Amino acid sequence: MSILIKNGRIVTAADDYIADIYIENEKIKTIGHDLPFQADQIINADNKIIFPGGIDPHVHLEMPFKETFSSDNYETGTRAALFGGTTTVIDFITQKKEKSLFSALEEWKGRSTGNTLSDYAFHMSVTDFNENTRGEIRDLIEKEGITSFKIFMAYRGSLMVDDRQIAGLMDEVKKYGGIVSAHATNGDLIDYLVAKNKAEGRLSPLYHYLSQPEITEAEATGRFVDIALQSGIKPYVVHLSCEGALNRVRNATVRNQKIFAETCIQYLILDASVYNRGFESAKWVMSPPVREKKDQTALWSGIEQGLIHTVASDHCPFTWEQKMMGEKDFSKIPNGAAGIENRMELLFSEGVAKNRITLNQYVELTATNAARIFGMYPQKGTIAVGSDADLVVFDPGEKHVLSAKTHHMNCDYSEYEGMEITGKCKTVLLRGKMAIDKNKIWVEKGYGKFIKRNIPE
């Protein structure tokens, strides 16, 4: 199977030029002007931009939550990802306390293997670091290609680890060249505020937001990067949402520490006014919560200043029926929101089309930096001879409206309902195969491949 893409504007993290791309056997074979090849399929990309397929480094597909699961499974979630130009997702495995990391891996393989349409990889969330789990780290990195680990500094009793465990995990992961990321919010302070609000009868979703003030994230972010400094590992902060946390990262760079930070598309676009809509605000109950307008400004500046490296989705949707679990008590609302399909187009519309970021920065934030940080570069995250032919043919001028009626995520509402955006993914190739074209999916479940990752650069 060969494909020739004619005359596209090829944009990578470093380049911007017009050329043809010839693809054979899943890979980019040649890039050049007026390529003289015959191909099984020809795509005319006049006036279109060609981006590397997006990499979403933070998704939760079919994630167990109490007696339910996040509502996109590996099939529906990765299909939606492809519609939105994301060709690789990194999903989170969660260890169960007192159980091994490998038993969690088996459980996650059971749900995902053979069911994805996009390519995928796993981070391992370590919720119980002890002598047994220490012994599993090396094999996860070297045999399974799971080179990134995550800890939670919140959710005491189920997910949270203490500082001693964070330090122990970092020391072990560092030995084998992996990376440690954190959900960096102060769990005990949040639990205190949740209990206080509930005891005083404040039970609506607004109090989810008010129970997680900026300081809870700033404090934990500072603590996480401090522990990383002592260990000597490069930390990665997931879903950084506010100015206070960004300033902890900024301050740490002053002592010449290297830190990777991720924000999510919702924190760049939405603000806390979404929590003034009564129970409807449950749609935006996620952790950290959506912040203030001044935080959006800080995050865009953080991107400009090179402090934020990736824009993820933290895709963790729950249907309205699932959100209703917390109708009488905000602390029972499942945390998370949908975004896997919208991330790339929203960042183009709000970032590139509004002149906040350049096209090259766009590629860095949506694909290249994640590929580099998480050990997939240059197989993924760029357009180069020998790389996987994961490509998005993008119309930068097409306007369209986001809606649950037209999205492909398994969620019966959209946090962006009615929002008009500029720029649309028209054709998406995954490893040289047409995955999306003419608003249709052309690959089936099982086409998506597990990506064993290397040691991050």
Residues in contact with Zn ion by CB under 5 A are 183, 314
Based on CB atoms, which residue is closest to ligand URP, 45 or 338? 338
Check binding of 182 to ligand URP (CB under 6 A). Answer: no
Rounded to whole angstroms, the Cα distance separating 310 from 296 reads 15
Based on CB atoms, which residue is closest to ligand URP, 48 or 315? 315
Q: Count Cβ atoms within 10 A of the Cβ of residue 99 and give its class: 0-12 exposed, 13-18 middle, 19 or more buried.
A: middle
Tokens read off for 119: 């390519």
Tokens read off for 188: 């005990």
Based on CB atoms, which residue is closest to Zn ion, 31 or 182? 182
Contacts of 20 (CB under 8 A, 6+ apart): 4, 5, 6, 7, 8, 31, 32, 33, 34, 35
Q: How far is the CB of 183 from ligand URP (least distance, A)?
A: 5
Contact 349, 421 (CB under 8 A): yes
Q: Which does 335 bind (CB under 5 to 8 A by kind): Zn ion, ligand URP, none?
A: ligand URP
Check binding of 286 to ligand URP (CB under 6 A). Answer: yes
Based on CB atoms, which residue is closest to Zn ion, 105 or 264? 264
Check binding of 335 to ligand URP (CB under 6 A). Answer: yes
Contacts of 187 (CB under 8 A, 6+ apart): 152, 153, 154, 155, 156, 160, 220
Check binding of 323 to ligand URP (CB under 6 A). Answer: no
Q: Count Cβ atoms within 10 A of the Cβ of residue 437 and give its class: 0-12 exposed, 13-18 middle, 19 or more buried.
A: middle
Out of 75, 91, 314, 341, which residue is the one contacting ligand URP (CB under 6 A)?
Answer: 314
How many Cα atoms within 13 Å fall on the side-chain side of residue 425? 33
Q: Give the Cα-Cα-Cα angle 108, 368, 260 (nearest 5 degrees).
A: 75
Based on CB atoms, which residue is closest to Zn ion, 3 or 153? 153
Binding residues with ligand URP: total (CB under 6 A): 9
Determine the residue with CB nearest ligand URP: 335
DSSP per-residue codes, 227-275: HHHHHTPPEEE-S--SHHHHHHHHHHHHTT---EEEEEHHHHH--GGGG
Residue reference for tokens 């030029």: 17
Exposure string (b/e) for 34-71, b if CB count within 10 Å is 16 or more?
ebeeebeeebebeebbbbbbbbbbbbbbbbebeeebbb
Q: How far is the CB of 266 from Zn ion (least distance, A)?
A: 11
Q: How far is the CB of 128 from Zn ion (least distance, A)?
A: 17
Check binding of 372 to ligand URP (CB under 6 A). Answer: no
Contact 424, 398 (CB under 8 A): yes
Q: How far is the CB of 36 from ligand URP (least distance, A)?
A: 49
Helices (H), 48-162: 74-83, 101-112, 131-142
Q: How far is the CB of 158 from ligand URP (least distance, A)?
A: 11
Contact flags string 11-30 toward ligand URP, x per CB under 6 A: --------------------
Q: Count Cβ atoms within 10 A of the Cβ of residue 201 and give its class: 0-12 exposed, 13-18 middle, 19 or more buried.
A: exposed
**What's the chain's Rg over C-alpha atoms?**
21
Check binding of 287 to ligand URP (CB under 6 A). Answer: yes
Check binding of 283 to ligand URP (CB under 6 A). Answer: no
Check binding of 160 to ligand URP (CB under 6 A). Answer: no
Check binding of 183 to ligand URP (CB under 6 A). Answer: yes
**Residues 233-252, interacting with ligand URP (CB under 6 A):** 239
Check binding of 340 to ligand URP (CB under 6 A). Answer: no
Helix (H, G, I), strand (E, B) or coil at 24: strand
Based on CB atoms, which residue is closest to Zn ion, 48 or 183? 183
Q: Which does 435 bind (CB under 5 to 8 A by kind): ligand URP, Zn ion, none?
A: none
From residue 148, alpha-carbon distances to 120, 184, 375 in Å are 14, 16, 9
Based on CB atoms, which residue is closest to ligand URP, 48 or 60? 60
Based on CB atoms, which residue is closest to Zn ion, 340 or 359? 340
Out of 29, 60, 407, 453, which residue is the one contacting ligand URP (CB under 6 A)?
Answer: 60
Rounded to whole angstroms, the Cα distance separating 455 from 437 reads 34
Based on CB atoms, which residue is closest to Zn ion, 9 or 183? 183
Q: Which does 364 bind (CB under 5 to 8 A by kind): Zn ion, ligand URP, none?
A: none
Based on CB atoms, which residue is closest to ligand URP, 238 or 359? 238
Residues that bind ligand URP (CB under 6 A): 60, 183, 239, 286-287, 314, 316, 335-336
